[in-house]
Structure 1
Amino acid sequence: MTSVTMTVNGKQVSGEVEGRTLLVQFLRESLSLTGTHVGCDTSQCGACVVHVDGLAVKACTMLAGEAEGREITTIEGMENADGSMNVIQQAFQDHHGLQCGFCTPGMVMSASALLADNPKPSESEIREYLDGNICRCTGYHNIVKAILAASGQQVSAVAAE
Structure 2
Amino acid sequence: MIDETDMKHLDRCVELAAAALETGNPPFGSVLVDEAGAIRYEGHNETSGGDSTRHPEFEIARWAAANMTPDERAAATVYTSGEHCPMCAAAHGWVGLGRIVYASSSQQLATWLNEMHAEPSPVAMLSINEVVPGLPVEGPFPVLAEAVRELQKRYHRRQA
Which protein shows a greater Rg? Answer: 1
Q: TM-score normalized by structure 1?
A: 0.25
TM-score by length of structure 2 reads: 0.25
Compare the two structures and name the one with the higher helix fraction: 2
